[in-house]
Chains A and B, each alone.
Chain A
Amino acid sequence: MAACVAVIAKENYPLFIKTIPTENELKFYYTVHTSLDVVEEKISSVGKNTNDLRELYLGLLYPTEDYKVYGYVTNTRVKFVVVVDSTNASLRDNEIRTMFKKLHNAYVDMLCNPFYKLGDNITSKGFENIVKGMLQQD
């Protein structure tokens, strides 16, 4: 279960951020913002093994003392960032991957809605419900 889910557009502004209700939600916003640098670094690293470049899932971006941040970039340069609690040790890589797959599917479905203009903030209730299902239940 995630602590925070964010969708960032190609031009690096947030389309959607949802966090579990805590007192200090801003720190999640900062974490997502700083993770953008790591994402850019990962997608532009040409010197690396070509195998890594071919995958959409970026993996663990960086761990902080309380949280771990995971990233995923689509071919259209839309970034998904998920922040999970470090204490939740039972979360495996596979579960994070399925989380991103669900997010990607929900995003594609939402994009195909003719009333949604590319680049607008995401206000779709369906998308929000899917994200709520992924957030940590207290």
Chain B
Amino acid sequence: MADEAVFEFLHMEMVAHIHREAVKDEKDQCISKLEALGFRVGQSLIERFTKECSRFKDELDTMKFLCKDFWGLVYKKQIDNLRTNHQGVYVLQDNKFKFLVQMSTGKQYMESAPKYLAFPCGMIRGALSNLGVNCIVTAEVSAMPACKFQIQIQRT
């Protein structure tokens, strides 16, 4: 259990630090900075995780890997629900998201929750971009600690 706590604390401090150090007119760049951090981490992580896997057959295969193996290795659990409209939009639902579990349930901290989802969004985007899938990832919290990640694949 100890090794998971280390990353959780580091992430909390990272979010707090970036928001603390931001100059008044750069406040809105905090989320992008965190997302960019997550992007680079996601790229390296996916390279390490897919080292032993066989090749992915198609996009759905890639998303399933993301939901099961990637999520399992990073957050020690799997995604609870994966939905798709088969037109490039995937919704990943996690009912007990790692970084939100420590915050109290209820409406009090809902506004600050998105700050803690920026890094995971970036990680998903980085992981997918290294696998050759360009996408936009957004997250929303309807009820703590559950959250939904929406992945929109950009087809060129």
Contact = CB atoms under 8 A, between A and B. Distances in A.
A76 B55 contact: no
A108 B49 CA distance: 10
Interface of A: 10, 43, 50, 53-56, 73-77, 104-105, 107-108, 111-112, 114, 118
B47 A108 contact: yes
Q: Name, among B40, B48, B130, B132, the residue most crowded by chain A CB atoms within 10 Å (CB to CB).
A: B130
B7 interface: no
Interface of B: 40, 43-44, 46-48, 50-51, 53-57, 130-132
Nearest to A74: B50
B47 A76 contact: yes
Given A75-B55, A75-B131, A112 B50 contact: no
A104 B51 contact: yes
A75 B44 contact: no
Contact of B54 (A43, A55, A76, A77): A55
Closest 6 CB pairs of A and B: A54-B54, A75-B50, A76-B130, A112-B44, A111-B47, A108-B48
- Identify whether the interface residues of A are mostly helix, strand, loop, or mixed: loop
A75 B56 contact: yes
A52 to B, nearest CB: 10
Contacts of B56: 75
Nearest to A52: B55
Contacts of A56: 54-55
B73 to A, nearest CB: 14
Given A77-B132, A108-B48, A112-B44, 9 more contacts: A43-B55, A54-B54, A54-B55, A55-B54, A56-B54, A75-B50, A75-B55, A76-B132, A111-B43
Nearest to A10: B132
